[in-house]
Chains A and B, each alone.
Chain A
Amino acid sequence: MIRRLYKWFDDRLGASEFTEHALKKVFPDHWSFMLGEIALYCFVVLVATGIFLGLFFDPTSTKVTYHGPYLPLNGVPMSRAYESVVNLSFGVRAGLVMRQIHHWAALVFIASIVVHLCRIYFTGAFRRPREINWVIGVTLLLLGIFNGFTGYSMPDDLLSGTGLRIAYSVALSIPVVGTWIAFLVFGGEFPSNAIIGRLFFTHVFLVPAALGALIGVHLAIIWRQKHTQFPGRLEREDNVVGTHLWPTYAAKSVALFLGVFATLSAIGGLVQINPVWLYGPFRPEQVTSPAQPDWFLGWIEGALRLFPSFEVRALGFEIPSVFYPAVLVPGLTFMLLYAWPFLEAWVTGDHGPHHLLDRPRDRPVRTALGAATLTFYAMLFFSASNDLIAKGPAVPVDTVTMIFLTLVFALPPVVAFGTYKLMRSLRDQTVKALSGTTSTPGKFAPRS
């Protein structure tokens, strides 16, 4: 049956040459190559669960009074959007588990993109000819973070409303055009009735369409350029060593998809996330305490908390304090990310193509810079919990903030130095172990 079907298509498309090529495509067998795949499969889970959720969510701000199965909210006025999320959670069979799988999948999606990015960075996989895919990958991260925010902002609960209020304030802070941007994006002064519908359309159509298209291009380019690989006995610059797509790699990859889905199902079923019914509906004069965003915005939130009481005011104009931590820091972060492959090639003068990966120890400076950068953002991330951290030993929040402000700037150089030393000694050991053979120290050392 399948054979006849295949013949039918091949008669019309002449696809056999491509199919054979595809089925025999070689995929390297290193565990770190799964990270990007995990992100891809999270996206698939997000789309699948998102379609289900989209059929129940009602993105309107019309005020209603709740009368439903969740008794603590009985008689409480709320928007239709919030009501539909509560109903989806308690009134729709399998609704809550779908919501929670979706939310967890979003968190893991962005996490796996970040870890995948680290893999690409620390092994030098971004070098020519893969700069295009680096740029696409950074864009995917940006869009992923953005869509995570639009997603958890839609339910119109008290926590997400606070997040939207901060986003509005950040938009307002942009010099010259800030008020216009804020009013055009939000459809007027906060809180407008337009924003939830806009978030919904952006979250379920605009950004997913862009993500889908870019993921397609990302994969097509990988297909065209073939995978990188670590140097080894068989591995050279001009070949790819691993297993064929059919059947081994296909089986493993499908297994990975199912494994990712299984893990997300388990977490989504067992671990509560974003219980909007506990936060209550959004009210412009209320706020939850503590109030924190999802993890992927933690670094911006941390920057907002650390940035001192400072603003620029001159000639009757001002650049308010939120602009620096919430616009400038993320802006510079992503500019640097986008520029990195070109920056490194410019600094090292290495413009040649590379298909063999570096081990982190082979590039002590790059590895040290990467570790320092991660430390910087990790410190910002933890600063977003300054109030919670202060609660433990009962010290003033101010003290915790000052400690983190010091760590944000003091720790990265320390980590950079330590990492550099460690990488150098690891590299020297490898070279020593290989002495006697003709080794090229600093270039790379064979894996086996």
Chain B
Amino acid sequence: MARRGGWIGFALLCTLVASVGVTIVYAEGGQPQLEGLLLAVALGGIALALVGWAKAFMPHGPHVEERERVPSEIVHRPDVIQYVDEGAEEIGRRRFLARLLGLAVLALGGAAVFPIRSLGSAPGRSLFKTAWKPGVRAVREDGTFVRASEVAVDSILTVFPEGHTEDGDSPAVLIHLPEGLYRAPPHRADWSPQGFVAFSKLCTHAGCPVGLYQAPSKQLFCPCHQSVFDVIDGARPTSGPATRPLPQLPIAIDGSGFIVAAGDFSDPVGPGFWNRDRT
């Protein structure tokens, strides 16, 4: 017992020292590792002391407590049910008024739901379009224009419509393929001048940016759920959970040699939604 007492005393002493320690560390400018460690010793000291104390010096029983019957059916339940029934009967007797009350509460509830509508704008057609329009110049994240001659073959660049670098739906990847390699889907023959192709950067699975490009295999990878898109084949998904190709952005090179859009993306960008095919 005396030895137990000694240990408890030691643990409490640890708390004392560590508490002073953590105060000093804080006063000296703070240091996260030391703060955490000293706090742990301070708290743990009392914890161990209390456990030792309880084990050595406190009553352990075993104490036994009776468990009373939980269902109160014998005495109270019938009374309560009857009392409620009587009250309800009183209300029910005024049948018309009771129905009107129900209707009024329902109407009130309906009216109370409407403020939810204020939480956000209507989806409308906003998921079907982005800021890309014919003639809009492509810019880098820092807002600079993209000259076709600056993008080397097999390199990739993230581009935005001018003035919309913060948009969530507009980012596109611009890839310079070796000329003649791209197998354009039907009606997109003139969407990829000089081997330049552009696709939405948003994965058609869950909307993550398709950030990784492997130049030798011409594949785009999504780091979130490992969908793979074959750039040469119209960015068709070849593996992983994605079901649709990345929407293509029709591009052109303007008179000054800058990359411009020739229209909006071929399809709504990003993940699927209920009425996505209702274009």
A219 at the interface (CB under 8 A from B): no
Number of interface residues of A (CB under 8 A): 101
Contact string against B for A residues 276-308, beta-carbon threshold 8 Å, 1 for contact and 0 otherwise:
000000011111111100000000000011011
Q: In whole angstroms, what is the CA distance A266 to B61 when docked?
A: 35
Are the CB atoms of B276 and A318 closer together than 8 Å?
A: yes
Chain A residues with Cβ under 8 A from B67's Cβ? Answer: 226, 237-240, 355
Among B30, B66, B272: residue with most chain A CB under 10 A: B272
Are the CB atoms of B40 and A318 closer together than 8 Å?
A: no
Q: How far is the CB of B31 from chain A (nearest CB, A)?
A: 9
Beta-carbon contacts under 8 Å, B31-54 to A:
32-37, 39-44, 46-51, 53-54
Are the CB atoms of B239 and A283 closer together than 8 Å?
A: no
Are the CB atoms of A256 and B47 closer together than 8 Å?
A: yes
Are the CB atoms of B65 and A285 closer together than 8 Å?
A: no
The answer, among A96, A162, A285, A321, for a CB contact under 8 Å with B243, is A321
The answer, among A97, A173, A226, for a CB contact under 8 Å with B271, is A173
Beta-carbon contacts under 8 Å, B244-266 to A:
none
Q: Report the interface size class on chain B.
A: 35 or more
The answer to whether residues A398 and B239 also contact, given A178-B274, A317-B275, A317-B277 and a CB cut-off of 8 A, is yes
The answer, among A173, A186, A288, for a CB contact under 8 Å with B223, is A288
B234 at the interface (CB under 8 A from A): no
Q: In whole angstroms, what is the CA distance A190 to B170 when docked?
A: 11
Chain B residues with Cβ under 8 A from A319's Cβ? Answer: 274
Beta-carbon contacts under 8 Å, B5-39 to A:
26, 29-30, 32-37, 39
B112 at the interface (CB under 8 A from A): no
- Number of A-B residue pairs, CB cutoff 8 Å, is 279
A259 at the interface (CB under 8 A from B): yes
The answer, among A178, A184, A191, for a CB contact under 8 Å with B168, is A191
The chain A residue sitting closest to B61, CB to CB, is: A243
Q: In whole angstroms, what is the CA distance A132 to B140 when docked?
A: 57
The chain B residue sitting closest to A225, CB to CB, is: B70
Are the CB atoms of B278 and A311 closer together than 8 Å?
A: no
Are the CB atoms of A175 and B274 closer together than 8 Å?
A: yes
A397 at the interface (CB under 8 A from B): yes
Chain A residues with Cβ under 8 A from B35's Cβ? Answer: 94, 97, 269
Are the CB atoms of A258 and B36 closer together than 8 Å?
A: no
Chain B residues with Cβ under 8 A from A25's Cβ? Answer: 65
Are the CB atoms of B127 and A259 closer together than 8 Å?
A: no
The answer, among B44, B59, B141, B211, for a CB contact under 8 Å with A258, is B44
Q: How far is the CB of B279 from chain A (nearest CB, A)?
A: 9
Chain B residues with Cβ under 8 A from A386's Cβ? Answer: 226
Which of B76-84, B99-107, B177-185, B199-207 interfaces with chain A? B199-207
Chain B residues with Cβ under 8 A from A256's Cβ? Answer: 47
Are the CB atoms of B63 and A93 closer together than 8 Å?
A: no
Chain A residues with Cβ under 8 A from B223's Cβ? Answer: 287-291, 387
Beta-carbon contacts under 8 Å, B143-173 to A:
158, 160, 166-169, 171
Are the CB atoms of B62 and A241 closer together than 8 Å?
A: yes
Q: In whole angstroms, what is the CA distance A242 to B30 when docked?
A: 44
A336 at the interface (CB under 8 A from B): no
Beta-carbon contacts under 8 Å, A186-203 to B:
186-192, 194
Are the CB atoms of A311 and B272 closer together than 8 Å?
A: yes
Binding site for A on B (CB under 8 A): 26, 29-30, 32-37, 39-44, 46-51, 53-54, 58-67, 70, 116-117, 119-123, 126-127, 141, 158, 160, 166-169, 171, 201, 205-209, 211-212, 223-226, 237, 239-243, 270-278
**28 pairs across A/B with beta carbons < 8 Å?**
A100-B32, A166-B207, A166-B208, A169-B206, A169-B270, A184-B119, A187-B121, A194-B120, A226-B65, A248-B60, A251-B50, A255-B54, A262-B40, A265-B36, A266-B37, A287-B208, A305-B225, A307-B241, A317-B275, A318-B276, A320-B271, A322-B205, A322-B206, A353-B70, A386-B226, A387-B223, A397-B239, A398-B239
